[in-house]
Amino acid sequence: MNKKHIKISILPIILILITTFIGYAKINTLRSAPVTELKDILSTAQLSYFGRLAAGNAAGDSLITINVVGGTNPSNSTDNLFIGDTIAIADSADGGSDLYIISDIGNTANISLSTGIGANNISNGNYVIATRSATHTVSFKPQTSVAGGDWQVLIKATGRSGETANDGMPDQGGFDLGALVDGDITCPWGGTASVGTTTIITSGVGLGSTGPYHIITCALDTGITNPINDTGTITIGGTHKLINPAPGLSHVSGRADSGADTYTIIVRHLDSDGATIINGDTTIGKIAVVENVRVTAVIDPTITFYIDSIGTSTPNMTRCGTTLGSQANQTTPTSVAFGTLSLGSFNTLAQRFSCTTNAKNGYIVQVYENSPLTNFNTGTTIPDTDCDDDAVCSTSTSNDWDTDVGTNRSEFGYSLESISSSGVAFEHTNVFKAKPFGVGSANAQTIMSRATTPSTIDQAYICYRITANNYQEAGTYQNSINFVATATF
């Protein structure tokens, strides 16, 4: 009897000790700490295009007119459209749209199509859309860990009246979900991906950051924890991708700042119940999207990146160690118009680019082209340069380009000149030093960087050079240059 009595008395004490230990362990695990080094790298930051037809277009026309009345539409010119782009024009008969391919850009109001426009597409006010979709590569270093927890990425969606956040149409209020599904998400630490319901978030996300948001979740299996201070990467985009926004309400060509075209991204950590947010483990960053420019910043960032023609628009100026051509006054923030090339000679124009941020680990500016300069009527290209025969260059190695003037070969490349930054990737010395552009985001090359917070705006010139021999096929050649700027906190 006494032995039985003693056994019954000890059991509750053991249970109390076990419960106390588990509670203590859980309290230690759920430290309050936001992630560090949060970045969202977009595969392309080109704004989507959303314009509307003007009155007067007729069935069968291959030259159509866009409404250019300021403030009427997200896109009020032909800026950010390119030869070879596929555009969707609204079909007034069935409520859908029909696809056309751009064959030329006439001016700020006119687009040439490869085929005549249909009778159902010509109505005044019909939308004209070119969607730009991007893969988001979100990386961060966790400072908390919990068994079976959820990591969530929240990306700004539209909440504007008249816009739908998941209809495949570019929105002015945020990224459109498009057809994104669970299978388009890749999770770290063996997590299971899911695309949640787009929702308004009203607490725990910081002042001015309320939704709606697209919610991407990576749920860890029961008992699985993530490492502390090791980089985790969530890739959002596979067969289907989020659709980049159209220009914002106060859009300024070639610029993204707090006034327009910047969008919130949030990373947060949930407890194993999938509902309770771990206290303090919510981190806010910003994504900025401008014509062919991507800027990423994190933890209440301030970052500005822009391209302009200041200091590069006067013919015969010296930039990158060479003289700019007679068409220098045609350079704008969104175009470099060489006009008619001088055959067998160097043709050189330039732009200025600028970057500043309060990121403690600085920034990186990269550049790439979508393709070689191409005559889209025939497919003929002007090849990317390999510099002089005795000084070969590549996308990763610059070299002299001052003697090969296109006598035997047409070429296209670029050089750099620092204005107020010590972080320019390469510069001219006594001759024009150049590289070819890499084709596609996978071949983007750094042109300016800084590992610490800049004390002022860093600026540099980028000089574009073309040579063409007498046998180069006649026609209009075009490509698209993408600038990618990323800040790291």
User: 32-46+133-291 has which CATH code?
Assistant: 2.60.40
Q: Is 21 helix (H, G, I), strand (E, B) or coil?
A: helix
* Same fold: 32-46+133-291 with 49-130: no
How much of the chain, in percent, has pLDDT values that exceed 70?
87
Confidence band (pLDDT; 50, 70, 90) for 352? very high
Does pLDDT of 176 surpass 70?
Answer: yes
Q: Give the E-state strand segments of 301-444 in sequence order.
A: 303-308, 318-319, 322-323, 347-357, 363-369, 373-375, 381-382, 387-388, 391-392, 399-400, 411-418, 433-434
Q: Show me where the domains of the chain are located.
A: 32-46+133-291, 49-130, 305-487
> Tokens 């300069």 — which residue?
373
Q: Residue 455 is encoded by which pair of tokens?
A: 């004390």
Confidence band (pLDDT; 50, 70, 90) for 422? low
Write the pLDDT tens digit of every residue in 93-141: 888 999 999 998 878 899 999 999 999 999 999 999 999 999 999 999 9
* 28: nearest Cα among 228, 299, 311: 228
> Tokens 């010590």 — which residue?
422
CATH pick for 49-130 out of 1.25.40, 2.60.40, 2.40.160, 2.40.30: 2.40.30
Q: How far apart are CA 210 and CA 292, in angstroms?
A: 27
The region that residue 178 occupies, defined by phi over 0 for left and psi between -120 and 50 for alpha, beta otherwise, is left
| Average pLDDT score over residue span 54-66 | 94
Does pLDDT of 203 surpass 60?
Answer: no
Give me the pLDDT at residue 405, please. Answer: 87
Using alpha carbons only, give the angle 215, 217, 223 rounded to the nearest 5 degrees: 155
* 190: nearest Cα among 151, 242, 142: 151
Of the listed ranges 5-19, 246-260, 307-321, 344-358, the one predicted with least confidence: 5-19
The reply to whether the predicted model has a pTM over 0.85 is no
Greater confidence (452 vs 422) lies with 452
| Average pLDDT score over residue span 422-433 | 83
Q: What is the mean pLDDT of the chain?
A: 85
Q: Residue 155 is encoded by which pair of tokens?
A: 């990306």
Q: How far apart are CA 26 and CA 149, in angstroms?
A: 12
Q: How far apart are CA 347 and CA 465, in angstroms?
A: 5
Does pLDDT of 153 surpass 80?
Answer: yes
Q: How far is residue 455 CA from its own chain's centroid? A: 25
